[in-house]
Each structure stands twice: as C-alpha cells, then as structure tokens.
Structure 1
Amino acid sequence: MRRTSWQTLLGTGVVVGAVAYLGLTVLEARSGTVVPVSAQTWLVLAVVAVVLLLLGRSVRRLTEGRTTRMDHLRAARVAMFAKACSLCGAAFTGYFAAQVAIAWTNISAPALRDHAVWSGAAGLAALALLVVALVVEQWCRLPPEDDPEPA
C-alpha cells in the first residue's frame, strides 16, 4: 500500500469544497436556509481521531518489535482505516470550509454566526483527523528489509 499523496488529499478537499459550495448556494437561494451543522459534529470527528491515534500507537509498537496485543492482520486493518480517515478528513475539511464560506456572507446574523462557529470547529476537527491519519499511515510503514541481495 502506498502512502496517500498530498496531491490526492488537496484535490479531494478542493473538489468537495467547490461542489459543496455550489450545492449549498443553490439550496440556500431556493429555500432561504442553510444546511444545519450540529454542535457535536466536531466532537465526533475528534473522537475518531483519538481512536485512530490509539490504534496507531499499538501498530507503532508492533513495527518497533515491542510487546503489544496487536497482530499483523489488525495492523493492516488500522493502516486501511488510517488511509480512509485521511481521505474523509480531506473531504470533510472541504465541506465544512464551504459551510463557513456560505455563513460568512451574512456573519452579522446571530444564527449564521453560530453556524459559522460550529462549521469552523468541525472543519478544524476534520483537519486534525487528516493530520492524525497521515501520522498513523507513517507509523504503519514497515522498516525496509536488510536483505543485501535484490529480489
């Protein structure tokens, strides 16, 4: 498995953000309301990031040869979970950035101010999830073999 490239993550965030901005603009123009963002959204993303970090620590212990309850199959699953979280983190960051941009158009309204705050908090949590996922992906890499003969 190859590491997730920054170009893929940037492209995902930009495309999702642009599509979300266009869709949310059309939806707001037709209905007059914005899609609500729950105040707990940032908390859910932060909990996922913490769980991924804890799982990644166990994988890191396994790759360093220290004692752990992690086996190789579960370590592979954690690596795939980290890859999925990096892509989801990029997509959610773009989406919540679009939400903030929509709410920023009339930030003086109290409802839109709260919307911008919760969207911004969720966007920061999604960015934190992205960073944690990239760190865990790095921890899941196996050290190179010390085989002097080419395969």
Structure 2
Amino acid sequence: MSHTKPVVLVLLTVVVGCLSAALLNFLYNQGASLPRDGVEFGLVALIISLLSGWLAAHVHRLKKRQETWMSAVGAARVAALSLALSHTGAIFLGYFGAQSIFILVNLGNDALAETLWRKIVAVIGATLMVLTGLIIEKICTIDPEDPKSQSSSGATPEAA
C-alpha cells in the first residue's frame, strides 16, 4: 500500500468544502436553518483518533517483535483504517471548514455567530482525524530494508 498523497487530502477537502459552501449558501438564501452540529462530531473524532492510536501502538509493538495481541492481519487492517481515517477526516474538514468560513463571512448574524465555536470544534476533530490517519500510516509501514520482513525463495521456514 502506497502512502497517502497530501494532494489527495487537500483536493478532498477543497472539493467537499466548495460543494458544502454552495449548498450552505443556497440553504441560507432560501431561509432554511443551517446544521447546528459540530461538537458531537469533534468529540467522536477524538475518541476514534485515540482508539486508532491505541491500535497503532500495538502495530508498533508487533513491528518491534514485542509482546502484543496484534497479528499481521490485524496490522494490515489498522493500515487500511489509517487510510480511511485520513480520507474521511479530509472530507469532514471540507464540510465543517466550509461552514466555519460561511459563518465568519456572515458574522453579523447573531444566530449564526453563536454556532461558530461548534464548527471550530468539528474542524479540530476533522484535522485530528487526518493527522492521526497519516501518523498511523507511517507506523504501519514496513521498512523494505528490514531483512526480517523480506522472504526469499531459497529461505527455509523456521521451526514452529
């Protein structure tokens, strides 16, 4: 699995942000109320990031050949989780980032201004998801120079 390219995360964030901004502007001009969520997402993102970090710590132990319950298959799943975490975080960063910018542009509206802190919490949570995903991806990467991770066709299996 190749590493996540930052440009992919930036593009996800920008595209979702632009689409969200257009939708928010349309809703606002139609007189609809904007979503009031944010804090709950930020807290859930924190919990997900902490749990993912805990899993990554066990992958790190596995790579160091220290005692852990983590298997190689589990480590591969954590690597896949890291990819999903960073991409999902980028999508939510675009979504909540667009809302935050929209509120900042319309800061004269007191009803909108009071929700800004919720959106900022969500932006922090989404950013945490992206960073956690990228860090875990680095942890789950197997060093190609590690002779223990390479198998040659002439190698004999170790006795069980």
TM value normalised by structure 2: 0.86
Shift of 1:110: 3.6
Distance 1:108 1:31, change over 3 A: closer
Shift of 1:79: 0.6
Shift of 1:81: 0.7
What letter corresponds to residue 92 of structure 1 in structure 2? Answer: F
What letter corresponds to residue 27 of structure 2 in structure 1? Answer: L
Match of 1:96 in 2: 96
- Tell which deviates more after alignment, 97-106 or 13-22: 97-106
Quick one: distance in 2 between partners of 1:108 and 1:64? Answer: 55
Structure ranking higher in helix proportion: 1
Percent same amino acid at aligned positions? Answer: 28
Quick one: distance in 2 between partners of 1:141 and 1:19? Answer: 34
Where does the alignment leave 5 or more consecutive residues of structure 2 unmatched? 153-160
Where does the alignment leave 5 or more consecutive residues of structure 1 unmatched? none
- Tell which deviates more after alignment, 34-43 or 52-61: 34-43
Would you say how many aligned residue pairs link Structure 1 and Structure 2? 148
Match of 1:24 in 2: 24
What letter corresponds to residue 10 of structure 1 in structure 2? Answer: V
Match of 1:61 in 2: 61
Q: SS in structure 1 opposite 2:107? A: coil
Q: SS in structure 2 opposite 1:31? A: coil
What letter corresponds to residue 99 of structure 1 in structure 2? Answer: Q
Match of 2:77 in 1: 77
Match of 1:114 in 2: 114
Quick one: distance in 2 between partners of 1:12 and 1:21? Answer: 14
RMSD over equivalenced CA pairs, Å: 1.5
Shift of 1:34: 1.2
Shift of 1:38: 4.2
Asked which structure has the greater CA Rg, the reply is: 2
- Give CA-to-partner distance per residue, 1:108-134, whole Å, 9 cap, x none: 444312311101110111101110110
Q: SS in structure 2 opposite 1:21? A: helix
Q: SS in structure 2 opposite 1:33? A: coil
Q: SS in structure 1 opposite 2:65? A: coil
Quick one: distance in 2 between partners of 1:64 and 1:141? Answer: 12
- Tell which deviates more after alignment, 105-114 or 83-92: 105-114
Match of 2:130 in 1: 130
Quick one: distance in 1 between partners of 2:38 and 2:120? Answer: 12
Check whether the contact 2:99–2:119 (CA below 8 A) recurs between aligned residues: yes
- Tell which deviates more after alignment, 51-60 or 26-35: 26-35
What letter corresponds to residue 36 of structure 2 in structure 1? Answer: P
Quick one: distance in 1 between partners of 2:55 and 2:93? Answer: 23
What letter corresponds to residue 81 of structure 2 in structure 1? Answer: F
2:48 maps to 1:43: no
TM value normalised by structure 1: 0.91
What letter corresponds to residue 117 of structure 1 in structure 2? Answer: W
